[in-house]
Structure 1
Amino acid sequence: MPEKHSIGSQIGDLAQSGEKMIERLRRKAFLPESRKGLNVRFGIAEAAGLLGCSTNRIRMAEDDGRLPPPPAGDNGRRLGYSIEDMLNMREVLGASPRRASGDPAAMIAVQNFKGGVGKSTVTTHLAHYFAVRGYRVLVVDCDSQATTTTLFGFNPHFNITREETLYPYLSIDPTQADLLYAVKHTPWPNVDLIPSNLELFDVEYELAAAGADGQSVLATRFRKLKQGLTDISRNYDVVILDPPPALGTISLAVMQAANALLVPLAATTPDFCSTVQFLSMMDQVLEQLTEAGIAVDYQFVRLLCSKFDANDPSHDMVRAIMEQSFGPALLPVPILESAEISHAAMRMMTIYELEKPIGTARTHKRCRANLDEALGQVEQLVRSTWGRVDRIDEELVVNG
């Protein structure tokens, strides 16, 4: 029988070997500088659709000098508009979707205690969906497993220190008074990230060891995270929180700090049962928080079916059960299972970052259209909390 220390050594070796492989994959994916880049561009028709205006309006703005034309390639053809170009176009043409100064930023917690539901995938795709549409987005990785941080192109083991996570702000002996220190820029000009790594879990240990004074310490930490996020959210329209998939101190603090809850779940019986348990547990916890004087208020609570296979009869059956159980709280459009999403994740990317399809053009187009529709449901919920309605598409008006 092997000794305990040898088992520990073996596990440590496995972890170290895995971390080295992640770094190798990251370097291969982000050559030549080993830094994630963003080279996606939009044609004029797609740009007009995103801005809610006509292609003629864009061309007129380019003709009269208000907008620069997109660069041309070696063959003389226009290369399309970058994300930076799109943001500038929104400002010049008055097509920015930003919230009004009196509207609070949407602070959406993407949470489920069941693993494998695509929580981090939904988080990153939701962030990039909002970014494409011109919103200012902050993603806060509160999970020490740091999958979201990895998908944004950072290696949590090699690139992120504990001092760059939420730890210096939430620890028993904090060294930071606000969260500005932790904000990192990403390749997206309108998406920032507060990263995570394994050492963030130290917060859980410290608070568990707080002793008899634990309850007051916990309450203080809950209020502190909410205050810090509220302060920093002044610079953003949407804040997306990715908490740990467990009922710990950080998860509870995130649940209290958020003003909206999005629960992803897959269309399987175990996922459905686990999600019901999660909701039941959340109900009890929120009741206890309220009794302790810690306010929790959500502008919306929705469930989003992810990894849905329309060709699997069992998925249809489970989704029907979800509809009967959750009613309108279940968003009507699920995220479809797609090899394109899996292939993009292998490159530490989302569908919105791909310059060209990985699989067939048809598969990519279908996947992108589904994501736009599914995540657009969340956008409309956010806009409704601001009292905003859908913008009218000028192209549709002109063409009847």
Structure 2
Amino acid sequence: MVENTIRINERVRVNAENIAAALENHMLTAFAPDARKELRLFSAGEAAELLGISTSFLRKLHFENKIEDVQTSAGGRRYYSAHDLSQIRQHLDSVAKVPGTYLKGRREGDPVQVLSFLNFKGGSGKTTSTIHTAQRLALKGYKILCVDIDPQASLTTLFGYRPEVDFLETGTVYDAIRYDDPLPLSSIIQPTFFEGIDLAPAGLVLQEFEHETPRALMDNVQPPFFSRMAAALAEVEANYDLILFDCPPQLGYLTMGALCASTGLFITVVPNMLDVASMSQFLQMSADLLDVVSNAGAAMDYDFLRFLINRMEPNDGPQQQVVAFLRNLFGNEVMTNAMLKSTAISDAGLTHQTIYEVERSQFNRNTYDRAVDSLNSVNDEIESLIQAAWGR
């Protein structure tokens, strides 16, 4: 039997509408009743680790009434919200012998750290790395702005927004960097459920920047594309310690704008030779394009560049060989710690969550702990790079 002829544009539209409706229903089911996420509470052990103190010292602070009471279970276990952690951190620093021992964000004279996670191969873990880094460092007291410049808007979705509904035509980073009557970035920044993190959202309309830039270059519109992101950030950077870019999987004008606004780069790479070959092409293209924008006046000074190994399987021999190859080639530019491939991370993603959002009890404990330890090691290494850039 011959199928009825169907126009492809109509079929694609029907598919798009069906999946949009299904995703909205999934979001409403996962985060009912208001379709917005809430951050879980943290155990005393987790709280102490994030604060940089022992659990016994945390108990002592409660016993001596030096900090406010927190939510307690029927069995007497204490649970801490992100706001509780912030209040306790403020107290700890106020009585510390050395100010800044517990508040490790920017001090007077410290420039904002702008970090980009990039690679033009999809599936290299850019979004996963961005959001886990943002959340880990927010839990440790940093004030963070996440900037989603991927038109697919995966990072925006992970923060509980529905870009295909909430930001279909307006309210995205595009409004702040467009060539025709741009808006202040502050007008599109959204709060998130995660204390310490704000979001500059993405949506499909961001792709318009890629389409409009060639004409803007011909018309010599100022500031040029590579300066527009930095110019937009200048309005709000005083409000944050860190700004994190989640870049699209392509080396377009959006990515170049993020590169020119950044102080640190993380190139995510999965340790197999196909991904390494793709990264080689990415680096060659990046170098050529960065030469062009540098000659046009863009600032190209970075505090650090690191290769972040993603989806690492420690018992995979060929992967170990690829990692050794990269370390031999790039030396200490390859991060010491790698992000492990974990079913816990992928399973959390099924409900648009991260490993820092889900409860340990929902997973095999060994699997969960392995994933958390891996992520903590990576993100704490990133924190040490930030602190070194500030001269600490």
Alignment check: 8 A CA contact 2:168 2:204 kept: no
Tell me what 1:373 maps to: 377
| TM-score (normalised: structure 1) | 0.91
Show CA shifts across 1:351-389 (max 9, x none).
01112343201110111011101121111100111112x
Tell me what 1:245 maps to: 249
Relative distance call for 1:293 and 1:360 in structure 2 (3 A) is same
Q: Tell me if 1:382 matches 2:386.
A: yes
Please say which of residues 114-123 and 162-171 is displaced more in the overlay. Answer: 162-171
Relative distance call for 1:281 and 1:219 in structure 2 (3 A) is farther
C-alpha distance in 1 between matches for 2:127 and 2:361: 22
Q: Tell me if 1:292 matches 2:296.
A: yes
Tell me what 2:276 maps to: 272
Show CA shifts across 1:302-338 (max 9, x none).
0000001122222112112111222111102111100
Tell me what 2:90 maps to: 91
Deviation, structure 1 residue 56? 4.7
Tell me what 1:301 maps to: 305
C-alpha distance in 2 between matches for 1:17 and 1:199: 20
Identity of aligned residues (%): 32
C-alpha distance in 1 between matches for 2:222 and 2:57: 54
Deviation, structure 1 residue 211? 6.4
C-alpha distance in 1 between matches for 2:250 and 2:136: 26
Tell me what 1:391 maps to: none
Alignment check: 8 A CA contact 1:207 1:217 kept: no
Deviation, structure 1 residue 231? 2.9
Amino acid at match of 1:246: Q
How does 1:103-118 map onto structure 2 within 5 Å?
103-118=110-125
What are the ranges of 5 or more consecutive residues in structure 1 without an aligned counterpart?
A: 389-400
Classify the secondary structure of the residue corresponding to 1:271. helix
Please say which of residues 106-115 and 246-255 is displaced more in the overlay. Answer: 246-255
How does 1:1-400 map onto structure 2 within 5 Å?
6-43=7-44, 45-73=45-73, 75-94=74-93, 95-176=102-183, 178-210=184-216, 212-213=218-219, 216-217=220-221, 220-388=224-392
Please say which of residues 4-13 and 136-145 is displaced more in the overlay. Answer: 4-13
Show CA shifts across 1:160-190 (max 9, x none).
24321012222121241x2101111111120
Alignment check: 8 A CA contact 1:131 1:190 kept: yes
Classify the secondary structure of the residue corresponding to 1:138. strand
Classify the secondary structure of the residue corresponding to 2:164. coil
C-alpha distance in 2 between matches for 1:333 and 1:310: 12
Alignment check: 8 A CA contact 2:229 2:257 kept: yes
Deviation, structure 1 residue 223? 2.0
Classify the secondary structure of the residue corresponding to 1:15. helix
Classify the secondary structure of the residue corresponding to 2:269. strand
C-alpha distance in 2 between matches for 1:342 and 1:66: 40
Amino acid at match of 1:48: A
C-alpha distance in 2 between matches for 1:274 and 1:4: 38
Please say which of residues 48-57 and 340-349 is displaced more in the overlay. Answer: 48-57
Relative distance call for 1:279 and 1:3 in structure 2 (3 A) is farther
How many residues are aligned here? 383
C-alpha distance in 2 between matches for 1:352 and 1:277: 34
Please say which of residues 374-383 and 27-36 is displaced more in the overlay. Answer: 27-36
Please say which of residues 78-87 and 345-354 is displaced more in the overlay. Answer: 78-87
C-alpha distance in 2 between matches for 1:219 and 1:227: 8
Show CA shifts across 1:55-98 (max 9, x none).
4543443344431122222x241331111100110111102221
Deviation, structure 1 residue 157? 0.4
Relative distance call for 1:206 and 1:82 in structure 2 (3 A) is same
C-alpha distance in 1 between matches for 2:248 and 2:88: 38
Please say which of residues 336-345 and 124-133 is displaced more in the overlay. Answer: 124-133
Classify the secondary structure of the residue corresponding to 2:187. helix
Alignment check: 8 A CA contact 1:207 1:218 kept: no
Classify the secondary structure of the residue corresponding to 1:264. strand
Q: Which has the higher contact order (CA 8 A, sep 6+)?
A: 1
C-alpha distance in 2 between matches for 1:3 and 1:76: 65
Classify the secondary structure of the residue corresponding to 2:266. strand
| TM-score (normalised: structure 2) | 0.93
What are the ranges of 5 or more consecutive residues in structure 2 without an aligned counterpart?
A: 94-101
Alignment check: 8 A CA contact 1:344 1:358 kept: no
C-alpha distance in 2 between matches for 1:2 and 1:201: 35
Classify the secondary structure of the residue corresponding to 1:351. coil
Classify the secondary structure of the residue corresponding to 1:31. coil
